[in-house]
A and B are shown apart, each in its own frame.
Chain A
Amino acid sequence: MADRLNALLRRLPEAGVWCLGLIPLAWLIWQVLQGGPGVDPVRGIEHFLGKTGLWLLIACLVIPPLRLLTGINALRHRRAIGLLAFLYIVLHLTAWIWLEMGLYWSQALKDLWKRPYLFFGITAFLLLLPLAATSGRAAIRRLGPRWKQLHLLIWPAAGLAVLHYLWQMKIISREGWIWLTLFLALLVSRLISAGLRRKKLRCDSPRAGKPATDSPHGQAKLP
């Protein structure tokens, strides 16, 4: 099952991921042309874009543990998914300032500073900016190991995005708690795997005292 899916994922070109990722946007545009989505299209558009962005952001975080747990390897598509998340978040922000705030810039800027949920949201966006800007191969080469460090910013960004989503509700709904739980579970699994990797690195490194050829668990070697 995982093998067949992996073969499919390997064959899927980046443009294919983009096409799939733009389906929600196409659906939204179609809804808007019908006078929707919902009775209040402004809110409908805004929420749909924001939620799709959040989904894709979380999808980026799901990819590594998914490979660990199921063997499904979508790592090669992570960049496209991340950029799609960024696109939806930019559109979400545009819908907010243009459709929701009616380009009331002064009220919007004051709100951004004063309202925690807007502050969380805009901070998440600002954290994603350098990630989107350094998503190309050239940037990866240029930044070297610092690229990996920089792209850890997806974690605070996704965390703030979840908070932004929860904080705007009058009462946190079941869906809200599901998002928060999912994010925290991903964060914990990331911390555990990072811890394990560090430990492994220490054990494997020749500087740790033992020769690298030592068998694990200290078992005796047969001659």
Chain B
Amino acid sequence: GAGLALPRLARAADLQPNSFEEITNYNNFYEFGWGKEDPASNAGAMTIDPWSVEIAGLVERPGQYDLADLIRGQPLDEHIYRFRCVEAWSMVIPWQGFALSGLLSRIGVQPSAKYVAFQTLYRPEEMPGQRQGGIDWPYVEGLRLDEAMHPLTLLATGLYGEPMPKQNGAPVRLVVPWKYGFKSIKSIVKISLTAEQPRTTWQELQPSEYGFYANVNPEVDHPRWSQASERRIGGGLFAGREPTLPFNGYADQVASLYSGMDLRVNY
């Protein structure tokens, strides 16, 4: 169906994936430390089996589900996506996952629901970063329902054919390829459907720098750096920068979601 066809369209010839080594050793996952290498060193302590996900809010079938039960029957496929961090670096990642819309249909979205809220595991004894201040744990993120239902939006459970490495958000994470990476919340333990726009960690922390939408947009700079260009990780010392594409190169598929919206205001 459309859910499978669209990611294939996104698979342009220039999408040469980064190496497994790069993808798993260069992560922002502040639950495991501030450094890019900290998640690879510290995430090993996280218990991912058993793993349950709470489904809550405006849904037909709320409850606490075992992950395997929750995602049974969803069509796992490989999706090679660009990944653009708000810090102006980027990678290309071959995810294994399925469209979030499949899961949302399964849990039954009530008509009054307008947004989807996500929450990361909170377990300070296994997550050293959570024992420090700086962020109001647990990490939370959210999408508008139409963004969540878009066929490009994935729940990913692996990469490079391997189960999701812990530092990349095992056992299940969100992937929204046209938004800055921080929207793609890792190690999800709760998904709830809401009528109001949910709070999100970065917007709460620094509202002038991080918005709810966080669509990749070369025209709207981060107050402290330009978003006009990006540096591809793994390009070598002298690879330089490449221009950042609107919606991270997925404008054809997603721009219509925002027609009529001022993207400078809704950054």
Number of A-B contacts (CB under 8 A): 66
Q: Give per-residue flags for B113-149: 1 if the beta carbon is below 8 A from chain A beta carbons, else 0.
A: 0000000000000000000101100000000000000
In-complex Cβ contact of A99 among B132, B233, B238 (8 A): B238
B224 and A40 form a contact (CB under 8 A): no
Q: Give per-residue flags for B222-233: 1 if the beta carbon is below 8 A from chain A beta carbons, else 0.
A: 011110110101
A101 and B241 form a contact (CB under 8 A): yes
Q: Which residues on A sit within 8 Å (CB–CB) of B225?
A: 111, 115
Nearest CB in chain A: distance from B159 CB, A: 15
Q: Which of A2-10, A13-21, A132-140, A165-173 contacts B (4 or more CB under 8 A)?
A: A165-173
A104 and B26 form a contact (CB under 8 A): no
B237 and A41 form a contact (CB under 8 A): yes
Q: Which residues on A sit within 8 Å (CB–CB) of B231?
A: 42, 100, 102
Q: Which of A166-191 contact B (CB under 8 A)?
A: 167-174
In-complex Cβ contact of B22 among A39, A100, A102 (8 A): A39
Q: Which residues on A sit within 8 Å (CB–CB) of B26?
A: 38-40
Q: Which residues on B sit within 8 Å (CB–CB) of A174?
A: 132
In-complex Cβ contact of B240 among A40, A104, A170, A173 (8 A): A104
- The answer to whether the Cβ of B54 comes within 8 Å of any Cβ in the partner chain is no
Nearest CB in chain A: distance from B136 CB, A: 11
What CA separation (Å) do A62 and B128 show in the bound complex? 32
Contacts A42-B237, A102-B241 known; A107 to B134 CB distance under 8 Å?
no
What CA separation (Å) do A103 and B224 show in the bound complex? 19
Q: Which residues on B sit within 8 Å (CB–CB) of A42?
A: 231, 237
Closest-by-CB residue of B relative to A172 is: B134
Q: Which residues on A sit within 8 Å (CB–CB) of B51?
A: none
B240 and A32 form a contact (CB under 8 A): no
Q: Which residues on A sit within 8 Å (CB–CB) of B37?
A: 38-39
What CA separation (Å) do A169 and B206 show in the bound complex? 12
Contacts A102-B239, A111-B226, A171-B134 known; A40 to B233 CB distance under 8 Å?
yes
A39 and B233 form a contact (CB under 8 A): yes
- The answer to whether the Cβ of A110 comes within 8 Å of any Cβ in the partner chain is yes
What CA separation (Å) do A59 and B40 show in the bound complex? 32
- The answer to whether the Cβ of B262 comes within 8 Å of any Cβ in the partner chain is no
- The answer to whether the Cβ of B30 comes within 8 Å of any Cβ in the partner chain is yes
- The answer to whether the Cβ of B34 comes within 8 Å of any Cβ in the partner chain is yes
B237 and A32 form a contact (CB under 8 A): yes
Closest-by-CB residue of B relative to A98 is: B238
Nearest CB in chain A: distance from B199 CB, A: 17
What CA separation (Å) do A169 and B224 show in the bound complex? 10
Q: Give per-residue flags for A115-139: 1 if the beta carbon is below 8 A from chain B beta carbons, else 0.
A: 1110000000000000000000000
- The answer to whether the Cβ of B205 comes within 8 Å of any Cβ in the partner chain is yes
Nearest CB in chain A: distance from B219 CB, A: 13
- The answer to whether the Cβ of B36 comes within 8 Å of any Cβ in the partner chain is yes
Nearest CB in chain A: distance from B209 CB, A: 8
Q: Name the 3 nearest CB pairs between A and B, nearest first.
A: A102-B240, A39-B26, A102-B241
Chain B residues at the A interface, C-beta cutoff of 8 Å: 21-22, 25-26, 30, 34, 36-37, 87, 89, 132, 134-135, 205-206, 221, 223-226, 228-229, 231, 233-234, 237-241
Chain A residues at the B interface, C-beta cutoff of 8 Å: 32, 38-43, 45, 98-104, 107, 110-111, 114-117, 167-174
